[in-house]
Amino acid sequence: MPTRPVRRVLIAGGGIGGLAAALALQRKGFGVTVFECADALRDGGAGLHIWTNGTIVLDRLGVAGPVLEVAPAQQICHFGTWRGEMFGAWPVGDFVTEYGRPTLAVERSVLHSILHDALHGDPVRTGARVVGFDQDSEGVTVRLADGRHERGDILIGADGIHSVVRAGLFGDTPARFNGYIAWRGKGRLEHELIPPGSFYALFGRGTRFTYYDVAPGVVHWMSVANGPAGGHDERGVAAMLAERHRGWMPPVQDILAASPEEDIIRSDVFDRKPDRRWGIGRVTLLGDAVHPITFNIGQGACQALEDALVLAERLDACRDDPGRALRRYERERRGRTASMQRVAWLIGRMGAVEHPLLIAAREVFMRLVWPALAFRIAEHNQIAYARRWSPPPPPMPSTEEENRWPITS
């Protein structure tokens, strides 16, 4: 007996990955419903680094225009020590010549809103917490915390690292704590040492500081330090961070001083080892629910965006056999995301070293490797779907427009 074609897709989770999946599926003609547990649609965090491969996906989703109107295009990514000695500088601005889109920085809430506003109708249901699901040969029934049930043809778990959908598929196994904590915030300042398109990642003793501008006069930053999971900050976290980074190269102290304490977010850093299985039957996973990638390579959101587009393509090509379509999506994505999970974990371990001899070895290694080999690896990550999805390169902008890139249709 032939399977009924997929018409309605259920998505657990209304973050970047869930909304991108909803938009990609809508553009292929599927009906979608997104279940978001929060009472109001929102997305936390301060900033996102979107590499060119992620910007290419935004273009295919039809939202690159609004994003590029507000998001600074990055030109050079600098890496160095807390003292200001540079290991290397990556000319990421060149990616636009090769692949048609820039690497950019954007406030997470801005990207989230743009994706949501691009959806047709009102497919996002807030205050709808998925607590379980059942599937059979004809579809999937989602169980919500308020007792309601919703029926669809397939279910996509885009509900984050502690995914309920993942637990329903493979059991509730704990995520892996990486041994360090990240504090994130936004500095509101104009500074001569932070020109548009800035990106700096600075390494210290068991701690790091990264910053980049996400809008005119707004700088996203992150301070990372070793420590146990489960802690929380009392009042005075801003003073604690200022003391931690005392003596670091300018403009670190100026950025911290310009950051409202109430905007600072603390989060323990978790990930998972790569999974061999992503789904069963009519259910699969997407983004952090299946391949949480630590911030160390800036690819977490980019890979969720890629997931969304590949998933929509595979379902569109095989509407009468959803199980086959989902397994094809999983096979295509598994190797790419697994390699990034491993690299991000390794870089995180490098950044966490505290012994002076290990720090000296790290600095020698990064001076030798970071300017060339590491950049080639980063550039390789832009290639995977560039020929398949990328538009023709836009013309080079004038000096006055170097942080704005025209949109090609």
Output the pLDDT for position 403: 35
Q: How far apart are CA 390 and CA 229, in angstroms?
A: 41
Calculate mean pLDDT across residues 243-250: 97
CA distances (Å), origin 68, targets 52, 63, 126, 214, 383: 12, 9, 28, 11, 21
Lowest mean pLDDT among 71-75, 251-255, 325-329: 71-75
For residues 40 and 252, the model is more confident at 252
Q: How far apart are CA 15 and CA 295, in angstroms?
A: 16
33, pLDDT greater than 60: yes
Helix (H, G, I), strand (E, B) or coil at 44: coil
For residues 278 and 100, the model is more confident at 278
Indicate the CATH number for domain 8-175+271-389: 3.50.50.60
161, pLDDT greater than 50: yes
Q: What percent of the chain has pLDDT over 70?
A: 93
For residues 362 and 42, the model is more confident at 362
Grade residue 328 by pLDDT with cuts at 50, 70 and 90.
very high
Helix (H, G, I), strand (E, B) or coil at 68: helix
Give the type of residue at 178: N
How do residues 101-144 score in pLDDT, each as one tens digit?
A: 999 999 999 999 999 999 999 899 999 999 999 999 999 999 99
Best CA proximity match to 11, nearest among 315, 299, 216, 336: 315
For residues 382 and 150, the model is more confident at 150
Strand 130-135 to 140-144 pairing: antiparallel
What is the overall mean pLDDT for the chain? Answer: 91
Give the type of residue at 162: H
Lowest mean pLDDT among 49-58, 95-104, 299-308, 378-387: 378-387
Cα dihedral 327→332→337→343 (10° resolution): 130
Cα dihedral 231→236→242→243 (10° resolution): -80
395, pLDDT greater than 80: no
DSSP string, 153-219: SEEEE-S-TT-HHHHHHH--PPPEEEEEEEEEEEEE---TT--TT-EEEEE-SSEEEEEEEEETTEE
Write the CB contacts of 185 (distance below 8 Å, at least 6 apart in sequence): 46, 220, 221, 256, 259, 260, 263, 264, 265
Q: How far apart are CA 343 and CA 330, in angstroms?
A: 20
Output the pLDDT for position 5: 81
Best CA proximity match to 186, nearest among 127, 277, 106, 292: 106
Lowest mean pLDDT among 91-100, 128-137, 347-356: 91-100
| DSSP state letter for 253 | H
Lowest mean pLDDT among 30-44, 271-285, 380-394: 380-394
Output the pLDDT for position 378: 86
Helix (H, G, I), strand (E, B) or coil at 31: strand
DSSP string, 268-327: EEEE-PPPS---BTTEEE-GGGT----GGGS-HHHHHHHHHHHHHHHHHHTTT-HHHHHH
pTM beyond 0.85, yes or no: yes
Cis peptide before 251 (omega within 30 of 0): yes
End-to-end CA distance of the chain: 42
**3-state secondary structure labels for all residues of 224-249:** EEECCCCCCCCCCHHHHHHHHCCCCC
Q: How far apart are CA 71 and CA 213, in angstroms?
A: 9
151, pLDDT greater than 70: yes
